[in-house]
Structure 1
């Protein structure tokens, strides 16, 4: 457990009005499924283009797609198709495009692997705090994953947004009449879950996942002077909260 800032009594029930959890790669594994589908696409197109070129151009297509289609499986699939068409100069066959679609469709119904300790943590915290799922992405896709995870009953609120930035967090806190100082965000992304919350005066706990999409990475210098807590896994969250309660 690396504690950049131990919040003392401010994490006790008296002060915490709302605790929000990110979903993908915080509550359940998500990124490995996308990596697997991308690898299958590389294999399908290996006779057209080398993997390094494909990976670079695919990432560029994903970033472009974010501005139009947002995050999620559907945007990912459309980016795969766009990349395949571009890199083959339109020579890709209809059968190959169908194969890409069929492979990408697996992202919409893959079995949910709840991360170790998450169910136990939510079971405990839901008895003491109002909990929220606060995730970005496609509404249908994220609602489906929440339902398939079997974790939905632990959360009083669910917010699925197109982007997680300072404006989004402020809007949600205003909606629920919660001050930033009474809000705790828990997630795996420094860019989406940690830094925006700190910037508005809220509190955040970072639980890194084994793999992180390049778009969610931040430079080390962006973390200078930022105070947050980093844990190894969800189980340590209960230990941290108990510690600060005892110190209160």
Structure 2
């Protein structure tokens, strides 16, 4: 019996990919100002490719993006000076400081899931400082019984999260926008899984991946929760169930 729902954060509950896209466009404009004559989209595609190339060195850490920006600057402008290099890196760092918008329908969807009797958890990947700051800014952060900030999302990490809260795979549903990081490892742990369509880091999170057997797809977070409630929920009481008090962030498992 499904007792809990795990939610991804970036691009599932908040709009982070648009922040990255806006930064890419600013970087392309900056490169044109440095005398580069390539098309802006070609510069952006090279920037995205460079992030994939160096991912194994940096993972989802906050130095991945600044290093990619610096590397691409120096590919196009080998004699870039210290000021230009700092400017390129700061364009990347600005991504982490920019507040992300809440996805339409997210607060209502979480409230509906809680009112239908599910325990809610958040599992998000990335630099701990960056992700914890984004979690702290969530207006609905207290809806989650526990928040897991991890450096990667894989089968072992999901297994550890389930064990930490005393659940088996069949007890939980995973909702997220990434096939690679959310849906596939969740299914390998026996969890139900719903993929939510969204802009994301396609080259890392979607390319070459297919929706696994047993998983389903939704157009948005509202549809995903409606599906969960229809299939696994209890009829809500007259008074909406108050979310359980949030516990401390889960930081004691998974790769570090």
Return the match for 1:122 from 110, 114, 117.
Answer: 110
Equivalent pairs, count = 231
Query: Which position in structure 1 is the counterpart of 2:244?
Result: none
Q: Secondary structure at the match of 2:14?
A: coil
CA offsets, 1:160-184, max 9 Å, x none?
A: 1111111221222222221111121
Query: How far is 1:52 from its partner?
Result: 5.3
CA distance in 2, matches of 1:114, 1:77: 25
1:108 aligns with 2:85: no
- Give the structure 1 partner of residue 31 of structure 2: 45
Distance in 1, matches of 2:93 and 2:215, equals: 37
- Greater shift, 23-32 or 72-81, is seen at 72-81
Q: Secondary structure at the match of 2:54?
A: helix
Query: Residue 32 of structure 1: which of 11, 14, 18 is its match?
Result: 18
Instruction: Indicate how the Cα distance of structure 1 residues 174 and 49 shifts in structure 2: closer, same or farther if over 3 A, else same.
Output: farther
Indicate the residue corresponding to 2:228 in structure 1. Answer: 241
C-alpha distance in structure 1 between counterparts of 2:61 and 2:139, whole Å: 20
Gaps of 5+ in 1: 1-14
Which structure has the higher relative contact order (CA within 8 Å, separation 6+)? 1
Q: CA deviation at 1:85?
A: 2.1
> Moved runs in structure 1, 4+ residues, more than 6 A?
none
Counterpart CA distance in 2 for 1:93 and 1:246 is 59
In terms of fraction of residues, the more helix-rich structure is 1
Contact 1:49 1:87 in 2 (8 A): no
CA RMSD of aligned residues (A): 2.4
